[in-house]
């Protein structure tokens, strides 16, 4: 097998906990109506956020990830019958500082010590990604933060995965691509990357042309897979 030189991470749901915004606000007190439904709101928010990226990629009606993040939240809040502009603004504000999963820093440090390239490849806009990386204290552990805005289409278009080779001068078989989104891991596998699906929920494998090479419950599996 060709030696893997580069480890690429999806951002939202992989390095950063997309449920953290809603969970944090629900636990802050004083919002009993939201606390009762926060888990469903968060799930709906994420589902619609992703759904809107896929639809926009198909139709060619691109916008940045911040717009679909707001649109997804608006749908989720309306479904929950929560017409509360202050709640909306609070949730959106928290989305810029999502917590990283606890194992993420140690994993990135291990890869850094082994001399591997480390980067994010994400649907997120550059400003969103910069805020999340800074808030989580991961900036010194990454060589690059690559946004789909460089090509103006959302994942899983192949032009997104092309950005990795363009940035690092590597071939697909020199890359381990890590994502908590099954469809992303499958698409990256079909593209030619080695892939690890972080399947925290224990979901079935998506029925798509590609199939993740490895599956794990959290990011701590990455160094073991790479032998570092």
Q: Residue 67: give its domain's CATH number.
A: 1.10.150.240
Residue found by looking up tokens 């204290």 in the block: 137
Q: Residues 135, 64: one domain? A: no
Domain boundary among 95, 116, 150: 95
Q: Residues 88, 105: one domain? A: no
For the chain, helix, strand, coil in percent to 5 are 50, 15, 35
**Other C-beta atoms within 10 Å of 217: how many?**
11
Q: Determine the pLDDT at residue 1.
A: 59
Q: Residues 151, 89: one domain? A: no
Q: Residues 47, 110: one domain? A: no
DSSP string, 41-106: HHHHHHHHHHHHHHHHHHHT----HHHHHHHHHHHHHHHTT---HHHHHHHHHHHTTPPBPTTHHH
Bridge partners of 177?
A: 8, 195
Please give the model's pTM, rounded to 2 decimal places. Answer: 0.96
Could you say which residues of the chain have pLDDT below 50?
Answer: none
Q: Residues 46, 10: one domain? A: no
Domain boundary among 52, 70, 95: 95
Residue 191 forms part of a structural domain: yes
Q: Determine the pLDDT at residue 30.
A: 82
Residues 6 or more apart whose Cβ sits within 8 Å of residue 11: 120, 122, 123, 124, 129, 132
Q: Which residues are the active-site residues? A: 10
- Would you state the structure tokens that stand for residue 51, as one six-digit string? 């759904």
| Number of folded domains that form the chain | 2
pLDDT per position as a tens digit, 160-176: 999 999 999 999 999 99
Q: Residues 129, 53: one domain? A: no
Domain boundary among 95, 119, 148: 95
Question: Domain residues for 37?
Answer: 20-95
Alpha-carbon gap, residue 116 to 143, rounded angstroms: 10
């Amino acid at each position: 097998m060709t030696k893997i030189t580069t480890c690429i991470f999806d951002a939202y749901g992989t390095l950063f906990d997309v449920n953290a915004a809603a969970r944090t606000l629900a636990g802050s007190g004083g919002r009993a109506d939201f606390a009762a439904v926060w888990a469903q709101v968060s799930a709906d928010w994420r589902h619609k956020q992703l759904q809107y990226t896929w639809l926009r990629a198909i139709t060619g009606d691109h916008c940045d990830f911040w717009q679909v993040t707001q649109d997804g939240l608006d749908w989720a809040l309306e479904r929950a019958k929560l017409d509360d502009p202050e709640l909306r603004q609070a949730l959106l504000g928290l989305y810029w500082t999502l917590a990283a999963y606890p194992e993420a820093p140690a994993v990135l440090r291990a890869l850094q010590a082994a001399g591997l390239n480390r980067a994010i490849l994400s649907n997120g806009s550059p400003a969103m990604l910069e805020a999340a990386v800074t808030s989580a204290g991961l900036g010194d552990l990454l060589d690059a933060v690559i946004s789909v805005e460089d090509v103006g289409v959302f994942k899983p278009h192949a032009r997104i995965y092309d950005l990795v080779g363009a940035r690092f001068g590597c071939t697909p078989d020199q890359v381990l691509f890590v994502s908590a989104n099954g469809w992303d891991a499958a698409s990256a596998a079909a593209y030619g990357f080695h892939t690890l699906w972080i399947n925290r929920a224990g979901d079935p494998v998506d029925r798509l042309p590609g199939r993740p090479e490895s599956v794990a419950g959290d990011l701590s599996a990455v160094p073991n897979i790479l032998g570092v």
